[in-house]
Amino acid sequence: MRIGQGNLGEELITMKYQAILLVAFATFLMACGSQPSNTASNSNSPANQAKVDHSTMDHSKMDHSTMDHSAMKSSPDAASADYDLQFIDTMIAHHQGAVDMAKMIPQKAESSELKALGKEIVTSQEKEIAEMKSWREKWFAGKPAAINMELRGMSDSMKGMDMKKLDGLTGKAFDIEFAKQMIPHHEGAVLMGREAIERSKRDEIKRLSNEIIKAQQAEIDKMNAWIKEWSK
C-alpha cells in the first residue's frame, strides 16, 4: 500500500505541474496575439509614412476644387539647381494648375467655345507634362524637386488661381471667371517660356517654350475677346 500511495502521489504532482505548464503556455500565446506583428504593415508609422510616393497618386480622382494652387511654395534650394531642371519642375506644376482648372469646365461651363478650349488645354498640356517628365528622368534622374516660384511669371500667374471660387459658379458666371483667371495664368507661362529661350542650354526646352508661347498667346487673345462678348 505504501508503494501504491507513493506512485499515486507522484502522478498527482506530475499532473499538477503539467496543468501549470499548460496555463503558462496559454497565457504566453494570448500575450503574443495581442501584440502587433513585426512583419505587419503599419501605415501610421513614421517609417512607412516616409516611404509614401506622391508621384504614384491618381490626381485625376482628387477634388481639384479644394486645391490651393495660389499657396504653392518653392522647393528647398530650388534656385541653386540646374536652370533646365528648375524650368521642367516649375512648368510641370504650372501646367498642372491649368489642367486642374480646365477639368472643371465640362460640369460648369455654358459656352461651347470654352468647352472646346478646356479640352485643348487638357490634351495639349498633359502631353507636354509627360514630355517634360521624360526629359527629367533622362537628364536629372534622382534629383530633388526644383520648383522655383521666383522664375519669371510663375508666382504672379499662380496667385490669382481661386479654385474654390470657380467651384461655386456655373454657366456664364463660371465662363467669365474662368477666363479672367486663366488669362494671367497663361501670361505667366508665356513669360516663363521667353526666359527659357534665353537661359536654357537644351534645344528641346527652347522648342517647347516657343510652342507654349505661340499656343497660349493665341488662347489669351481668344479669352479676352470672349470676356468682352460675355460681359455685355
For the chain, give every domain's residue range.
Answer: 80-230
- Which CATH architecture is the domain 80-230 placed in? Up-down Bundle (1.20)
Query: How far is the C-alpha of 231 from the C-alpha of 195, rounded, in Å?
Result: 34
| Residues of the chain under the 70 pLDDT cut | 1-67
Structure pTM? 0.73
Single out the residue of 103, 221, 218, 97 nearest to residue 147, CA to CA: 97
| pLDDT for residue 59 | 41
| pLDDT for residue 71 | 82
Single out the residue of 54, 128, 142 nearest to residue 91, CA to CA: 128
| pLDDT for residue 67 | 58
| pLDDT for residue 13 | 45
75 CB-contact burial (10 Å; exposed 0-12 / middle 13-18 / buried 19+): middle
Query: How far is the C-alpha of 91 from the C-alpha of 97, rounded, in Å?
Result: 10
| pLDDT for residue 221 | 98
Query: How far is the C-alpha of 136 from the C-alpha of 84, rounded, in Å?
Result: 9
| pLDDT for residue 11 | 54
Element at 160 (helix H, strand E): none
| pLDDT for residue 19 | 52
